[in-house]
Amino acid sequence: MDIGTAKPTAAERARVRHHCIDLVDPGEPYDAARYQRDARAALADIAARGKTAYVVGGTGLYVRALLDGLGLDAAPTDSALRATLEARATAEGAAVLHRELAAIDAAAAERVDPRNARRVVRYLELALLAGRVPAERSATIGGPRIGLDPPRAWLDERIGARVRSMVDAGVLDETRHLVERGLDPRLPSMSGHGYVHWAAHLRGEVSLEAAIEATAKDVRAYSRRQMTWFRKDPVIRWVDPTAIDPLPLLEAVAA
């Protein structure tokens, strides 16, 4: 699903190493909890090599799962690990476990009262489950958060151009291959922008122009939902990429 997902090209990936691409087959289930584990493992690997990671996205729930942790009710659990941490909290004190949490996930530690043993145990359990690596090898997720906020008309035009470029790049052939593989159109992967419309065109149900317009409409609506989601994050610094010198932005991100 290279074209329909706007995956970085081979040339782009040769210039800058990308992570969390080609993790699963399109027919395999995948969720935010699995992404959190995969992405945090990638961050730990990057940090171990002394490099800087850039988290770029995307899907709001997945970004939040990575940077801020999943909600307690939605996240996985491990009863044996929980029992061990609870015993340690009783014997050593919650503050000791809170310091370990801060070393693994500083953002999560800031949200937890060090005196609240139950919540410290739960958040440390989540942090350990996310990576299954020793605390000293875990990545601390921090740094500035930059959000791009271009004029709506400019963005809508770019979206339309991108959809047409997907057609030029061969997204119809890509969709035909997926359909011929027998992938269920109801799969989450096949709900990615465009595939349902490209498949309808291949079945002769809609014209190519109608499929292009429907895909662009879907992406524009999704971009509006993205903005609604990310606007709730008070940490994000919003910039208009069409109205600024990109150098200060690059310097802010690299800081």
The pLDDT of 19-24, averaged and rounded, is 91
Residue 134: what pLDDT? Answer: 35
Residue 102: what pLDDT? Answer: 86
Residue 150: what pLDDT? Answer: 92
Per-residue confidence at 252, pLDDT binned at 50, 70, 90?
A: low
Residue 60: what pLDDT? Answer: 81
Residue 132: what pLDDT? Answer: 44
- Least confident among 97-101, 122-126, 175-179, 208-212: 122-126
Residue 155: what pLDDT? Answer: 96
Give pLDDT tens digits for 117-152: 888 888 888 888 765 433 333 333 677 788 889 999
Rama region for 50: left / alpha / beta (φ>0; ψ in -120 to 50; rest)? left
- Least confident among 49-53, 58-62, 203-207: 58-62
Residue 71: what pLDDT? Answer: 55
What token pair was written down for 22? 């080609």
Residues 6+ positions from 229 with CB-CB distance below 8 Å: 60
Per-residue confidence at 61, pLDDT binned at 50, 70, 90?
A: confident
Residue 109: what pLDDT? Answer: 81
Is the separation of the CB atoms in 145 and 235 below 8 Å? Answer: yes
Percent of the chain with pLDDT over 70: 89
Residue 146: what pLDDT? Answer: 86
Per-residue confidence at 177, pLDDT binned at 50, 70, 90?
A: very high
Candidates 1.10.4190, 1.10.10, 1.10.20, 3.30.160; CATH matching 79-137: 1.10.20
CATH topology of domain 150-234: Helix Hairpins (1.10.287)
Residues 6+ positions from 188 with CB-CB distance below 8 Å: 29, 30
Strand partners, 200: none
pTM above 0.85, yes or no: no
**Is the confidence at residue 72, as pLDDT, over 90?**
no
Q: Mean pLDDT, the chain, as a whole number?
A: 84
Residue 237: what pLDDT? Answer: 85
Q: Where are the domains of the chain?
A: 79-137, 150-234
Give pLDDT tens digits for 220-238: 998 998 898 888 887 888 8
Percent of the chain with pLDDT over 90: 38
